[in-house]
Amino acid sequence: MEFDIYQVSAFTGKSFCGNPAAVVPLDSWIDDASMQRIAAENNLSETAFFVPCGESEWEIRWFTPAVEVSLCGHATLASAAVIHSRLGHSDWPITLHSASGPLQVDVDGTTYILDFPASIPEAIEKPAGLEAALGAPVIEYFRGGEMTMAVLRDESAVAAVQPDFARLAGIAEFGLIVTAPGDSVDFVSRFFAPAIGIDEDPVTGSAHCVSTPYWSRILGKSVLTAKQISSRVGELFCEDRGERIRIHGSAVFYLSGTITI
């Protein structure tokens, strides 16, 4: 079997920045085990697969090197960029049907606009060992959907975090957002998910479905600028629309090729 494959950096307008995702367009679904093996071979934080299911509609699934996940922002943006720029689809917006429900994506010039479900964070008790695993004091701790979120003092505290990933994997069963007010943007973050095979994700769109409602409430504004301050850095423009979050970002193509299995 042979399949086209693209690697796209999402939430950036520059090469070697943002979050790289692999995208594999399919005519029909292949077996789950093959998709998981392809994702493991790609060894990127996410590989997206999609199949057409109607006019301007696709089904989409995402795999880390270790597991399938129910929602992924950067690989959705990367998939939209492939549909737009490589498959030549011209009727926008499009709908991507996923395990998290229908996701709408629109195009505005070189920017893609993702419409995702919000995950309103709820305050919970800090687990034992969290601050030791992060090496930083945690001001507040929340859960939003599958993710947890630790609020730190400021941007420099987020930048300085050096997690003990083995310890963190036993605390954050899916993934942990670490966030704080930004110096030049409304808020900054990093995302760690060693329990699902990703020590640090460079730019995590789905995490902003949790962090955006929090910072919207704290800052008293619905439109926010955000930066994920991993080593690759990603820039996002977020809108809190109640039950939905809109996330704006750009994409840069890195490579295209063919998978042979």
Residues involved in catalysis: 46
Closest-CA residue to 181 (of 209, 156, 206): 156
Q: Is 39 helix (H, G, I), strand (E, B) or coil?
A: helix
Q: Is 116 helix (H, G, I), strand (E, B) or coil?
A: strand
**Nearby residues of 27 by Cβ (< 8 Å), 6 or more positions away:** 51, 52
CB 238 within 8 A of CB 224: yes
Distance CA(116)–CA(243), nearest Å, equals: 9
Distance CA(38)–CA(163), nearest Å, equals: 28
Q: Is the peptide bond before 163 cis (omega within 30 degrees of 0)?
A: no
CB 208 within 8 A of CB 235: no
CB 145 within 8 A of CB 122: no
Which two tokens mark 104?
């709408």
Distance CA(81)–CA(64), nearest Å, equals: 20
